């Protein structure tokens, strides 16, 4: 489990649904464009397509049904115990639709990343694409960010933009944004695996250079 002389980074992916971003990670790891190995996929919902994607790739897949726990804290504590059993280097939230407690986040802060379907800090939360259309915005996009206790408030790492067309529905816009998500999320993971991004005192550094609060902007040059 090495690339060159370096061991592959151990990655855990948390999901709640179809796992399209998970699939982009599976493909990137298999192709070698992410120097990591997905140790396990964990879902808080049974029977979702993302679990099938993991099984098809021979990745251990685990269900931790949040409905089986009396409190959010108990669920997060059990989830953290499972994750710690894999001693991961990186934890990826890929459509994980649970608000994590401060206690959980603080355990893994600095190695916990998420992707949000808006150009943060605009439109945290849900229904991001419809909100951008209704606001008359000319662009939409997605943001990869480190996770902190503030919901969708962790420092941005990388953003991708797409134009909002006058004919766009939220579904059409979401589909175009998702294409970009599948590019930027594995790319950020690769930067992390290479030691090229870190968060220190709430500030992101890329190749030792401080990143603006809005994050870097994805382009073809970003991939190098």
| Catalytic-residue membership of 116 | yes
Which pairs from 170-175 meet CB under 8 Å and 24+ separation? 170/127, 170/129, 170/130, 170/133, 173/129, 173/132, 173/133, 173/140, 174/117, 174/129
Rounded CA-CA distance 218/224 in Å is 11
Rounded CA-CA distance 147/68 in Å is 25
Neighbours of 43 (CB within 10 A): 26
Which helix (H) or strand (E) is 183 found in, with range?
helix 170-193
Catalytic residue among 116, 129, 145, 182: 116
Q: Closest Cα partner for 103 from 73, 71, 69?
A: 73
Catalytic residues: 116
């Amino acid at each position: 489990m090495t690339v060159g002389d370096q061991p592959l980074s151990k990655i855990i992916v948390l999901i709640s649904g179809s796992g399209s971003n998970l699939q982009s990670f599976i493909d990137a790891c298999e192709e070698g464009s992410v120097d990591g190995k997905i140790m396990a996929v964990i879902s808080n919902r049974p029977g979702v397509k993302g679990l099938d994607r993991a099984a098809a790739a021979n990745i251990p897949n685990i269900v931790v049904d949040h409905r089986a726990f009396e409190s959010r804290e108990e669920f997060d504590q059990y989830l953290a115990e499972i994750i710690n059993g894999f001693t991961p280097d990186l934890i990826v939230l890929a459509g994980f639709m649970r608000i994590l407690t401060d206690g959980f986040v603080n355990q893994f802060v600095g190695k916990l990343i998420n992707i949000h379907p808006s150009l943060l800090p605009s439109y945290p939360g849900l229904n991001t694409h419809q909100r951008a259309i209704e606001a008359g915005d000319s662009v939409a996009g997605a943001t990869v960010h480190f996770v902190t206790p503030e919901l969708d408030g962790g420092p941005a790492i990388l953003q991708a933009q797409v134009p909002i067309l006058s004919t766009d529905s939220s579904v059409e816009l979401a589909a175009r944004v998702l294409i970009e998500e599948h590019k930027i999320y594995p790319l950020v993971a690769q930067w992390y695996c290479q030691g090229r991004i870190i968060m220190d005192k709430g500030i992101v550094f890329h190749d030792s250079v401080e990143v603006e609060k809005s994050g870097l902007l994805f382009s073809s040059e970003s991939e190098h």
